[in-house]
Amino acid sequence: MAPTPVTDRGFGPARHAELALLLEVAGTPKPGNVDRRHDLPDLHFEHFLTGAVGSAEGLSLAESGAPVGTAFETAVAGMSRQGGGNTQFGCLLLLVPLVEAAAAGELSPNGAADVAEATTIDDAVNFYRAFEHVDVAVGDAPDAAADLDVRRGGDAEPALRDRGYTLYDVMELSADRDANAREWTGGFARTFRAADAIRADDGPVTDRVARAFLDLLAEEPDTLVVTTHGESVARDVMARAADASTLAEAGELAADFVADGINPGTTADIVCAATFVALERGVPL
Amino acid sequence: MAPTPVTDRGFGPARHAELALLLEVAGTPKPGNVDRRHDLPDLHFEHFLTGAVGSAEGLSLAESGAPVGTAFETAVAGMSRQGGGNTQFGCLLLLVPLVEAAAAGELSPNGAADVAEATTIDDAVNFYRAFEHVDVAVGDAPDAAADLDVRRGGDAEPALRDRGYTLYDVMELSADRDANAREWTGGFARTFRAADAIRADDGPVTDRVARAFLDLLAEEPDTLVVTTHGESVARDVMARAADASTLAEAGELAADFVADGINPGTTADIVCAATFVALERGVPL
């Protein structure tokens, strides 16, 4: 006899966040991304498992109320101790404020927005430092903000302090072109909506994750695809995701996207954050 | 450019043990077991991911030197908070003393034997209590030891105290018919040997894990297969594992074993423990 699925695991937010990292990468097919059934040439499933375990210390700091920037940089440093490179930078950027909101008993769009808006200049500095641990694909900074290019890492500290930019301000700077920054400045709207979809869906959590990914991918251009392949390819990816109405059709897309080097990583970040919210609010597993 | 694999992750023993739980279940094909590419009807990959994260608190207790029985019972309780049932009871039974040995700087056959031999009656009681958290497939206890049947859970406490049995003594009682108990009473011999094989092997860790599994399966009858299908089926499984000389051939075996309900879970436990030792001693990832 099969045991009954468990909805309340008694996990704290940090453990749920770690589990969300694992369930996100286990969800298959997520076309173009590493998942349980797909590796990329230099980025493998086991790198994500290792990245998730390595993130745990930083996630635990977030649960205990450490500053967002400190928790995030610690999580990224731990995540980076594997040979795949950037596995979950974007996931962690969304998870850390959500874990802080959950630990404060305020896991809601307003609660998450409060955490984001309360960030400081020090949080911004630690966010920049996190880029020193791992190579993250980002677009060029606007000319007016060249001294705030994230690729400068901790060297951007004087510019941040001169301008008095908090981490929230930094996110506002790129919210027009970065879907994760838009989550930060918009009360994590897509995250919470996708979490509701995951909870309302049926079947194994990993299938729910895959369907949520497909829906999000059809909804907006993926930021990482825009960065690496341009806006028109990202629009084409959206249209093709919209045409895939089943996980089987998504599986065919997966083969095409991997062949074309199309990796919708930002959409995976949002699915990961949504999985966290769904776990916190209750999803049987 | 692919980043360089990382051999020293700066993880403590508890995190390496959690990662070993994840890499073990990711290793594919492991014929008859759940792995990255195989589910069983009521036992899915995501149950193992959840079990691994749930085990972390108990593993962390082991790292901090808590009594073996306390750390084990806590790990099993956390592991059990998912709907698949028993995912990693046997893995944890091997991992907990190995984590304690590693935390003491003595991760060797002698160091692990010292931890096992130093266990107390309280450790035995907590081991029995762990059976209350999850349904574990075990053989019948000998008539002479009916009051020590593990299925009695904490009710066996008076019998344990009357006889003055430590957890090591309990393992000695079943060492002739249980491969995990034999690891406990024999300096974890197969675990350390398989760890050497994993480290000496080439390629992704998950492939190394799968090859180590196949070698161990060919070497001795799997205890869980003996318990559920009898000795002669277990001998047949050994012979068929010995005939599979590649992972592709092991993949064909996987389909056959799943169809026949053959689940060599004890061999997976030893591979998990070996993966932990390999991670501690250094394996690139």
Q: What is the pLDDT along chain B (285 residues), one digit of tens a residue?
A: 567 899 999 999 999 999 999 999 999 999 999 999 999 999 999 999 999 999 999 999 999 999 999 999 999 999 999 999 999 999 999 999 999 999 999 999 999 999 999 999 999 999 999 999 999 998 887 777 889 999 999 999 999 999 999 999 999 999 999 999 999 999 999 999 999 999 999 999 999 999 999 999 999 999 999 999 999 999 999 999 999 989 999 999 999 999 999 999 999 999 999 999 999 999 999
What are the two backbone dihedrals, phi and then psi, of residue B38, each rounded to the nearest 5 degrees?
Answer: -135, 135
DSSP class per residue in B79-107: HTSSTT--SSHHHHHHHHHHHHHHHTT--
CB pairs under 8 A between A and B: 110
Give the pLDDT confidence score for residue B1 in this predicted structure: 56
Q: Which residues 6+ apart lie within 8 Å of B157 measured at CB?
A: B125, B128
Give the pLDDT confidence score for residue A144 in this predicted structure: 76
**Shortest CB distance from B84 goes to which of A3, A50, A52?**
A3
What are the two backbone dihedrals, phi and then psi, of residue B245, each rounded to the nearest 5 degrees?
Answer: -100, -5
**Shortest CB distance from B83 goes to which of A6, A45, A206?**
A6
Of B1, B7, B53, B63, which to mutate for an interface test with A (greatest number of A Cβ within 10 Å)? Answer: B53
Is the CB of B75 inside 8 Å of chain A's CB atoms?
no
Give the pLDDT confidence score for residue A2 in this predicted structure: 66
What are the two backbone dihedrals, phi and then psi, of residue A35, each rounded to the nearest 5 degrees?
Answer: -150, -170
B54·A135 Cβ contact <8 A: no
Q: What is the ipTM of this complex?
A: 0.97
CB-CB contact of A203 with A23 (8 Å):
no
Is the CB of A29 inside 8 Å of chain B's CB atoms?
no
Residue with the two structure tokens 């610690």: A74
CATH 1.10.4200 fits B13-210+269-281, yes or no: yes
Find the closest chain A residue to B21 by CA distance: A49
Residue with the two structure tokens 């309280």: B122
Angle between helices B189-200 and B109-117 (to 10 degrees): 150
Find the closest chain A residue to B2 by CA distance: A42
Question: Dihedral sign, CA of B114, B117, B118, B124?
Answer: positive
B22·A82 Cβ contact <8 A: no
Say how far apart CA B152 and CA B140 lie, in whole Å: 12
The superfamily CATH assigns to domain A13-281 is: Triphosphoribosyl-dephospho-CoA protein (1.10.4200.10)
- Report domain extents, chain B: 13-210+269-281
DSSP class per residue in A208-249: HHHHHHHHHHHHS--HHHHHHH-HHHHHHHHHHHHH--SHHH
Say how far apart CA B52 and CA B228 lie, in whole Å: 25
CB-CB contact of A247 with A207 (8 Å):
yes
**Shortest CB distance from A15 goes to which of B9, B56, B135?**
B56
Nearest C-alpha neighbor of B138 from the set B191, B185, B79, B178: B178
Say how far apart CA A65 and CA B206 lie, in whole Å: 36
Give the pLDDT confidence score for residue A14 in this predicted structure: 98
Residue numbers of chain A with a pLDDT score lower than 50 = none
Give the pLDDT confidence score for residue B139 in this predicted structure: 83
Structure-token pair, residue B198: 């994993």
Say how far apart CA A72 and CA A70 lie, in whole Å: 5
Tell me the sheet residues that pair with A38: A35
Give the pLDDT confidence score for residue B143 in this predicted structure: 79
Burial category of A281 from C-beta neighbours within 10 Å (exposed 0-12, middle 13-18, buried 19 and up): middle
Give the pLDDT confidence score for residue B206 in this predicted structure: 96
Find the closest chain B residue to A135 by CA distance: B3
Structure-token pair, residue A247: 């996980």
